[in-house]
A and B are shown apart, each in its own frame.
Chain A
Amino acid sequence: MIEARFTPLRERHESLGASFTDFGGWQMPVRYTSDLAEHHAVRQAAGLFDISHMAEFLVAGDFAAEFLDYSLAGRLSTMAIGKAKYSLVLAEDGGIIDDVIVYRLADDRFLVIANAGNRGFVDAAFASRVRSFPSRIERDLPPRAEGEDRSFAGFLGDRGVDVEDVSDTYALLAVQGPASEAIAAATAGITDVSIPWADQKYYAWADAFFLGAPLLIARTGYTGEDGFELLVRSEDAVALWDAVLAAGETHGIVPAGLAARDTLRLEAGMPLYGHELSREIKPAQAGLGRVVASDKTDFIGKDAVAPAEDAPVLVGLAAEGKRAGRAGYAVVAGDGTVLGEITSGALSPTLGHPIAMAYIDPASAETGTAVFLDVRGTKIPATVTALPFYRRKK
């Protein structure tokens, strides 16, 4: 039995009365008081999430950009410094090992944020890809700097990239909701913000300090709302948690758990690894074909990234009433023929009707197609719906 892990905010969650659940080997707050109230708070005001269980990797070196082009599905080398990009770690067979967000910190430095449950797999993938990535000596080297070791011995085996798992060094907090910018800007202790809050762009990051130590501010999230993810030193996580809640009190901020996070991301049509994404799913099946830069000369998974033509595809499903289809339930045609399977489903707190994501036969995947959800033996009518179910007003 593996011992459950807790984030640095354990005592804060306990004193707020959180219920805990296992998530990727971590004991995480599933809700504090009411998952519906936490969900609505994020849509209408703001919620604060502890997502310190997520894994962070620093990829650094002269060839860091080329290494990520080789290791991930997307083209990271053309990203501007200051930007963030959603990407995928693919297996050789084109299946998805993890979905990640990559932040370009400098020409030769990137931060990769991965899912908690996949930390070991991503770590192993990077380690093996560092070894299979062509070494410097196999590349065209830039002109030799004075005093630089250009001997065969000096370069043999040097990949020009180093990957470090820094997950335990940092905690990650997410403040999400329309009031996020006002709350973040009012948070005591955050100083030297490199870009004014209002000018920070979605899927970009800014530099700052919190209590004198480096703080990374990313305008990213997993709720479909505006918001920020704050990467802070583990030892300062409690102080930052308290400071954000204090700044947000007049804005209606509440601490929010994984239950609300799940219904929020489902409404926003965002995939969850282990549900919509897995080793058995190829990116195009999940609607993530755009994430793959197929024209790159070489990357892990390139040869097998295209799914079979009849492979099931991810769709949104909307139904009437209150009974939700859940993960694992069948999607069937009127005559009972099984068309596919639900991967996530809930009664949408914002929309008031059941929503789901499902992998179904591509012949039945067109928006507007009428299907049925097999809800424990009862056939509930549903309609194939374009994702996302919910889109915030700009």
Chain B
Amino acid sequence: MTDLNALSYTEEHEWLDIAPSTGSGTSVATIGITDFAAEKLGDVVFVELPEAGTEIAAGTVVGEIESTKSVGELYAPVTGTVVEINDAVVDDPSLVNAAPFEGGWLIKILIADDAADGLLDRAAYVALTEG
């Protein structure tokens, strides 16, 4: 089980699992949407993700998550390069609902300069969703 307190969060209801720096000064963040977002969307039936190698800028829309009822946009929470996408979730979007913090992860980003600004910790994110 993922330790939710160890993750970072955004106001767009994404979570980031930022792996420790490899020594080269860069780190990789695994990104998904929170259980709160998955619950709000309903059953996810389609995800569109950026291709590996795509450079993305924090705050821009880089993908889409569609449920039967609505469309959610995936915002890049940090600036960097997409190094991997979760093919399993493209094939079976229901993973986003079934395991949003585990098998339902979406993309991995090589963070450009360790400048992951404006992220929330668990307590701040929970406060946001209860607000």
Binding site for B on A (CB under 8 A): 19, 30-31, 34-37, 39, 259, 262-263, 322-324, 326, 346-347, 349, 376
Contact with A along B26-49 (1 / 0, CB 8 A): 000000000000011011011010
B46 and A347: CB pair below 8 A? yes
A262 and B39: CB pair below 8 A? no
In the bound complex, CA of A163 to CA of B97 (Å): 47
B69 and A322: CB pair below 8 A? no
In the bound complex, CA of A259 to CA of B70 (Å): 10
Return the chain A residue nearest B47 by Cβ. A322
Which of A19, A323, A349 has a CB less than 8 Å from the CB of B68?
Answer: A349
B6 interface residue per 8 A CB criterion: no
In the bound complex, CA of A344 to CA of B71 (Å): 13
Which of B42, B46, B48, B71 has a CB less than 8 Å from the CB of A30?
Answer: B42
6 inter-chain pairs at a CB distance below 8 angstroms, sorted by A residue, are A34-B97, A36-B94, A259-B69, A324-B46, A324-B66, A347-B68
Return the chain A residue nearest B71 by Cβ. A326
Secondary structure at chain B's binding surface: helix, strand, loop or mixed? Answer: mixed
B36 smallest CB distance to A (angstroms): 11
Which of A19, A37, A322, A349 has a CB less than 8 Å from the CB of B46?
Answer: A322
Q: Which residues of A contact B70 (CB under 8 A)?
A: 326
In the bound complex, CA of A35 to CA of B69 (Å): 9
Given contacts A259-B69, A263-B68, A323-B66, is CB(A36)–CB(B46) below 8 Å? no
Contact with A along B44-58 (1 / 0, CB 8 A): 011010000000000
Return the chain A residue nearest B94 by Cβ. A36
Q: Which residues of A contact B97 (CB under 8 A)?
A: 34
Given contacts A34-B97, A326-B71, is CB(A347)–CB(B42) below 8 Å? no
Q: Which of B59-102 contact A (CB under 8 A)?
A: 64, 66-71, 94, 97
A130 smallest CB distance to B (angstroms): 39
A31 and B42: CB pair below 8 A? yes
Could you list 5 further interchain pairs (A-B, Cβ under 8 angstroms) beyond the known A36-B43, A347-B45?
A19-B40, A35-B67, A36-B45, A259-B69, A263-B68
A323 and B46: CB pair below 8 A? yes
Return the chain B residue nearest A260 by Cβ. B68
A78 smallest CB distance to B (angstroms): 40
B45 and A322: CB pair below 8 A? yes
In the bound complex, CA of A128 to CA of B14 (Å): 53
Return the chain B residue nearest A37 by Cβ. B43
Given contacts A19-B39, A34-B97, is CB(A259)–CB(B45) below 8 Å? no
Return the chain A residue nearest B48 by Cβ. A323
In the bound complex, CA of A35 to CA of B38 (Å): 12
Given contacts A36-B43, A322-B46, is CB(A347)–CB(B69) below 8 Å? no
In the bound complex, CA of A349 to CA of B68 (Å): 8
Given contacts A19-B39, A36-B43, is CB(A259)–CB(B68) below 8 Å? yes
Q: Which residues of A contact B46 (CB under 8 A)?
A: 322-324, 347
A346 and B68: CB pair below 8 A? yes
Q: Which residues of B contact A37 (CB under 8 A)?
A: 43
B40 smallest CB distance to A (angstroms): 8
A257 smallest CB distance to B (angstroms): 9
Return the chain B residue nearest A348 by Cβ. B68
B44 smallest CB distance to A (angstroms): 10
In the bound complex, CA of A31 to CA of B67 (Å): 13
Q: Which residues of B contact A39 (CB under 8 A)?
A: 68
B48 smallest CB distance to A (angstroms): 8
B39 and A36: CB pair below 8 A? no
Q: Which residues of B contact A326 (CB under 8 A)?
A: 70-71
Return the chain A residue nearest B44 by Cβ. A36
Q: Which residues of B contact A31 (CB under 8 A)?
A: 42
B49 smallest CB distance to A (angstroms): 13
A346 and B43: CB pair below 8 A? no
Q: Which residues of A contact B43 (CB under 8 A)?
A: 34-37
B66 and A36: CB pair below 8 A? no
In the bound complex, CA of A347 to CA of B43 (Å): 11
In order of increasing CB-CB distance, the 5 nearest A-B pairs are: A322-B46, A36-B43, A347-B45, A35-B42, A259-B69
Q: Which residues of A contact B66 (CB under 8 A)?
A: 322-324, 347
Q: Which residues of B contact A263 (CB under 8 A)?
A: 68
A278 smallest CB distance to B (angstroms): 21
Return the chain B residue nearest A38 by Cβ. B43
Q: Which residues of B contact A349 (CB under 8 A)?
A: 68
A346 and B69: CB pair below 8 A? yes
